[in-house]
């Protein structure tokens, strides 16, 4: 939930750390801080964004070749400069940055207070840094050993970097439950919550595994061990990340860039997996588990937020095409409701970041009960990708905007491929129809290109409704999850209250909200039970609601009934979510921009939710 970055080597640390924080700012942005060794341990921190921290330290001469920095999403204590990281120990000789939550911090804090320690912030991290100092003093051990002993006393999740005034050539890092990657340079090390701050300096990385710690000494080899003191050989991997993917590339916001990247990201997600001319659908990552899927008593999809919406589309696809029963669960509910899981169940965990705490915990539970776990993740090497039995990566590329866009359509693309492959094995749809679907799926990226062109009408709609307080999104069948996703996009970046519903459910309650101020977005392509959706539109118009409809191009029936239409190209019903989602993303984007909201970093949110 927070972003951590650290450096040790022979370069000046400050610019590397600040640039790294900018790259990680999507993970949290309520306060930021930096610690360097510059004639002693120096810490600077502030409430607000990384740019506020930059302004605070501008002009200060901070020559240092070692340092740690942090951008925060508050868990313990309000976002202010006292609670911001890094936190120092009482002697002011140690500094720690931390991502995660120390669950037993209260007990540890009480014990430390009894031993005379004072606390200035409300954070769990300040407890950890003082615990390390206390162990160092009392046990007379070196820094890395003190860190190791301390980590054996804490419960909860952490990715930490420890800086010590007395050890200016050493950086200690460790992780449990929160991600951490180490870039290996020439006698130098870059540490970060993900690879984005590292990629421009080195392509050789080590992903820390659960309960791993690394001792990074200037000019020496990386030393890796577990917190149980078992030495490990570091597994150095080559980073496959394109630096340009991390820039806005001329767009005003990452979100807009990512919306426009969707034809590419979907093509990339299908590349090597779909060949319509040859009649091939294959997902190499899960090939060994196809029979398990075919024979599964049921598939349980677990995810959160937008990924959960993709899972709902997956339910329609897998049941419709492959005739396998599917349940879609919020990971946060699943993990605590004592679910019935058997060895014949296959669980599919979906996550863009691959770090979502609830999804990770739900995977652990399902594993414990013997289910097979497959993953659909975007971030290569992420915790979820590593904790599943097998899986397939979406190839959406780094998604920086907090609101998920291209990751969603890439997830839906993978679920579509999976459903088509299982339908082929099970023979649940005629071969000619199956081939027809393959060709249509291949044409989706170019249809998205066409959909992306409808800018003017969407801006006009956004202008018309930018000051309203509520929005309703309605859809049926495959487009019910699209309604949910459209509503989520709007509320998270524009702060307008929005609800998504199956259109027919409207008359069981939400219809009471309809008056001439209420905008209602209908996802109404001319497929499936289109006539029923048209009836639902009539019900809203009869009560003077303002209707914006996503329709199939050329639809004059709905056009004649509603206030605004946005057209999408003709496609098969099961592919309409991939097209209908696009204008809803753009609508949310333009509304948020017109309302002056911070589109890429909406308030209170963070890109990867590593706390439950
Ligand atoms: O990284 P994940 O896909 O596991 O994240 C799940 C949700 O936190 C995420 O989709 C969230 O809802 C987004 N802000 C939606 O735009």
Among the atoms of ligand 1, which is closest to the Cα of residue 309? 10
Q: pLDDT grade, residue 545 (50/70/90)?
A: very high
Q: pLDDT grade, residue 80 (50/70/90)?
A: confident
Residue 292 has what pLDDT?
Answer: 95
- The residue ranking higher by pLDDT, 605 or 520, is 520
How many Å apart are CA 227 and CA 206, to the nearest integer?
17
- The residue ranking higher by pLDDT, 241 or 348, is 348
Among the atoms of ligand 1, which is closest to the Cα of residue 356? 4
Average confidence (pLDDT) over 549-572:
97
- Write out the two tokens for 400: 């920086």
Would the CB of 581 count as within 6 Å of ligand 1? Answer: no
Residue 540 has what pLDDT?
Answer: 95
Would the CB of 31 count as within 6 Å of ligand 1? Answer: no
pLDDT exceeds 90 at position 552: yes
Coil, strand or helix at 239? coil
Residue 381 has what pLDDT?
Answer: 80
The answer to whether 196 touches 203, Cβ cutoff 8 Å, is: no
- How remote is the CA of residue 240 from the centroid of ligand 1, in Å? 23
3-state SS of 381-394 is: CCHHHHHCCEEEEC
Among the atoms of ligand 1, which is closest to the Cα of residue 306? 10
Residue 543 has what pLDDT?
Answer: 93
Neighbours of 139 (CB within 10 A): 11
Of 306, 354, 491, the residue with max ligand 1 atoms within 8 A of its CB, to mutate for a pocket test, comes to 306
- Nearest residue (CA) to ligand 1, atom 8: 305
Average confidence (pLDDT) over 170-174:
98
- How remote is the CA of residue 318 from the centroid of ligand 1, in Å? 22
- How remote is the CA of residue 357 from the centroid of ligand 1, in Å? 11
Would the CB of 307 count as within 6 Å of ligand 1? Answer: yes
Q: pLDDT grade, residue 405 (50/70/90)?
A: very high
Residue 212 has what pLDDT?
Answer: 96
- Nearest residue (CA) to ligand 1, atom 7: 305
Would the CB of 584 count as within 6 Å of ligand 1? Answer: no
pLDDT exceeds 90 at position 22: yes
Average confidence (pLDDT) over 516-536:
95
Residue 380 has what pLDDT?
Answer: 82
Q: pLDDT grade, residue 96 (50/70/90)?
A: very high
Q: pLDDT grade, residue 243 (50/70/90)?
A: confident
- How remote is the CA of residue 608 from the centroid of ligand 1, in Å? 7
Q: pLDDT grade, residue 249 (50/70/90)?
A: confident
Would the CB of 600 count as within 6 Å of ligand 1? Answer: no
- How remote is the CA of residue 73 from the centroid of ligand 1, in Å? 15
Q: 546 Cβ partners below 8 Å, 6+ apart? A: 465, 516, 517, 518, 519, 520, 563
Would the CB of 609 count as within 6 Å of ligand 1? Answer: yes
Closest Cα partner for 401 from 189, 248, 231, 580?
248
Please report the domains of the chain, with CATH numbers, ordered by start residue.
3-241 (3.60.20.10), 249-451 (3.40.50.10490), 453-598 (3.40.50.10490)
pLDDT exceeds 80 at position 172: yes
Residue positions counted in the chain: 612
Residue 276 has what pLDDT?
Answer: 96
Of 609, 610, 611, 612, the residue with max ligand 1 atoms within 8 A of its CB, to mutate for a pocket test, comes to 609
Of 352, 376, 495, 592, the residue with max ligand 1 atoms within 8 A of its CB, to mutate for a pocket test, comes to 352
How many percent of the chain have pLDDT more than 90? 85
Average confidence (pLDDT) over 17-23:
95
Residue 609 has what pLDDT?
Answer: 82
Residue 488 has what pLDDT?
Answer: 98
- How remote is the CA of residue 307 from the centroid of ligand 1, in Å? 6
Q: pLDDT grade, residue 77 (50/70/90)?
A: confident
Residue 382 has what pLDDT?
Answer: 86
Would the CB of 352 count as within 6 Å of ligand 1? Answer: yes
Would the CB of 382 count as within 6 Å of ligand 1? Answer: no
pLDDT exceeds 80 at position 454: no
Average confidence (pLDDT) over 541-553:
96
Tens-place pLDDT, residues 416-432:
999 999 999 999 999 99
Among the atoms of ligand 1, which is closest to the Cα of residue 489? 16
Q: 488 Cβ partners below 8 Å, 6+ apart? A: 305, 306, 309, 498, 500
- Nearest residue (CA) to ligand 1, atom 11: 305
- How remote is the CA of residue 414 from the centroid of ligand 1, in Å? 17
Tens-place pLDDT, residues 596-608:
999 999 998 887 7
How many Å apart are CA 510 and CA 501, to the nearest integer?
9
Residue 240 has what pLDDT?
Answer: 82
Tens-place pLDDT, residues 132-160:
999 999 999 999 999 999 999 999 889 99
pLDDT exceeds 90 at position 79: no
Of 194, 253, 304, the residue with max ligand 1 atoms within 8 A of its CB, to mutate for a pocket test, comes to 304
pLDDT exceeds 80 at position 350: yes
Predicted model pTM: 0.84
Residues taking part in catalysis: 2, 607
- How remote is the CA of residue 151 from the centroid of ligand 1, in Å? 29
- How remote is the CA of residue 56 from the centroid of ligand 1, in Å? 32
- How remote is the CA of residue 353 from the centroid of ligand 1, in Å? 8
Average confidence (pLDDT) over 377-383:
88
Average confidence (pLDDT) over 57-74:
92
Residue 27 has what pLDDT?
Answer: 83
Would the CB of 608 count as within 6 Å of ligand 1? Answer: yes
How many Å apart are CA 416 and CA 431, to the nearest integer?
16
pLDDT exceeds 80 at position 75: no
Q: pLDDT grade, residue 242 (50/70/90)?
A: confident
Residue 37 has what pLDDT?
Answer: 96
How many Å apart are CA 241 and CA 195, to the nearest integer?
8
Would the CB of 492 count as within 6 Å of ligand 1? Answer: yes
Residue 156 has what pLDDT?
Answer: 87
Residue 430 has what pLDDT?
Answer: 97
Would the CB of 405 count as within 6 Å of ligand 1? Answer: no
The mean of the pLDDT values for the chain is: 94
Q: pLDDT grade, residue 89 (50/70/90)?
A: very high
- Nearest residue (CA) to ligand 1, atom 14: 403
- How remote is the CA of residue 269 from the centroid of ligand 1, in Å? 19
pLDDT exceeds 80 at position 384: yes
Among the atoms of ligand 1, which is closest to the Cα of residue 303? 4
Residue 560 has what pLDDT?
Answer: 96
Q: pLDDT grade, residue 568 (50/70/90)?
A: very high
Among the atoms of ligand 1, which is closest to the Cα of residue 384? 4
pLDDT exceeds 90 at position 241: no
Q: pLDDT grade, residue 2 (50/70/90)?
A: confident
Average confidence (pLDDT) over 584-590:
98
Q: pLDDT grade, residue 255 (50/70/90)?
A: very high
pLDDT exceeds 90 at position 498: yes
pLDDT exceeds 80 at position 226: yes
**In angstroms, how far apart are the furthest CA atoms of the chain?**
81
Would the CB of 593 count as within 6 Å of ligand 1? Answer: no
- Written as one string, the DSSP assignment of 141-197 is --HHHHHHHHHHH--B-EEEEEEETT-TTEEEEEEEBS--EEEE-SS-EEEESSSTT
């Amino acid at each position: 939930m927070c972003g951590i970055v650290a450096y040790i080597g022979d370069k000046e640390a400050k610019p590397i750390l600040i640039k790294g924080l900018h790259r990680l700012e999507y993970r949290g942005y309520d306060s930021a801080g930096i610690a360097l060794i510059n004639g002693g341990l120096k810490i600077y921190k502030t409430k607000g964004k990384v740019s506020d921290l930059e302004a605070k330290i501008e002009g200060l001469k901070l020559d240092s070749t070692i340092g740690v920095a942090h951008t925060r999403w508050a868990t313990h204590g309000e976002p202010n400069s006292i609670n911001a990281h890094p936190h120092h120990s009482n002697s002011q000789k140690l500094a720690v940055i931390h991502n995660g939550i120390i669950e037993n911090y209260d007990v540890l804090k009480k014990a430390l207070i009894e031993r005379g320690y004072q606390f200035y912030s409300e954070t769990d991290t300040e407890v950890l840094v003082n615990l390390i100092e206390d162990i160092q003093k009392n046990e007379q051990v070196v820094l890395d050993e003190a860190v190791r002993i301390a980590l054996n006393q804490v419960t909860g999740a952490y990715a930490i970097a420890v800086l010590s005034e007395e050890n200016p050539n050493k950086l200690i890092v460790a992780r449990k439950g929160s991600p951490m990657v180490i870039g290996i340079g020439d006698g130098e090390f870059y540490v970060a919550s993900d690879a984005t701050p590292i990629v421009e300096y080195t392509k050789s990385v080590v992903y820390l595994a659960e309960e791993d710690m690394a001792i990074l000494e200037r000019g020496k080899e990386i030393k890796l061990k577990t917190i149980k003191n078992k030495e490990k050989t570091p597994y150095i991997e080559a980073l496959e990340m394109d630096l340009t993917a991390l820039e806005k590339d001329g767009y005003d916001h990452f979100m807009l860039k990512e919306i426009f990247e969707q034809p590419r990201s979907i093509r990339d997600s299908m590349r090597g997996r779909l060949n319509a001319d040859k009649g091939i659908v294959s997902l190499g990552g899960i090939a060994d588990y196809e029979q398990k899927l075919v024979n599964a008593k049921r598939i349980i999809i677990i995810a959160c937020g937008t990924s959960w919406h993709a899972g709902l589309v997956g339910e329609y696809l897998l049941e419709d095409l492959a005739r396998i029963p599917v349940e879609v669960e919020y990971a946060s509910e699943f993990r605590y409701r004592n679910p019935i899981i058997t060895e014949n169940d296959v669980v599919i965990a979906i996550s863009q970041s691959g770090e979502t705490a609830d999804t990770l915990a739900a995977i652990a539970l399902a594993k414990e009960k013997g289910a097979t776990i497959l993953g659909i993740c975007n971030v290569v090497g992420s915790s979820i990708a590593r904790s599943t039995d097998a899986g397939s990566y979406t190839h959406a590329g780094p998604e920086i905007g907090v609101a998920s866009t291209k990751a969603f359509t890439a997830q839906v693309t993978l679920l579509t491929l999976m459903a088509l492959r299982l339908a082929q094995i099970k023979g649940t749809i005629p071969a000619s129809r199956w081939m027809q679907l393959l060709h249509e799926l291949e044409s989706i990226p170019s249809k998205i290109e066409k959909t992306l062109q409808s800018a003017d009408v969407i801006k006009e709609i956004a202008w018309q409704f930018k000051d309203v307080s509520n929005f309703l999104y309605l859809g049926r069948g495959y487009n019910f999850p699209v309604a949910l996703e459209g509503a989520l996009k709007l509320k998270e970046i524009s702060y307008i209250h929005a609800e998504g519903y199956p259109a027919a459910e409207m008359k069981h309650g939400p219809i009471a909200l309809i008056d001439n101020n209420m905008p209602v977005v209908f996802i109404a392509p001319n497929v499936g039970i289109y006539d029923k959706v048209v009836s639902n539109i009539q019900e809203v118009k009869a009560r003077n609601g303002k209707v914006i409809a996503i329709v199939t191009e050329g639809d004059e029936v709905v056009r004649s009934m509603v206030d605004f239409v946005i057209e999408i190209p003709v496609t098969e019903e099961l592919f309409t979510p991939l097209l209908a989602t696009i204008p809803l993303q753009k609508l949310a984007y333009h509304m948020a921009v017109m309302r002056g909201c911070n589109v890429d970093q909406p308030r209170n949110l963070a890109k990867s939710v590593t706390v439950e």
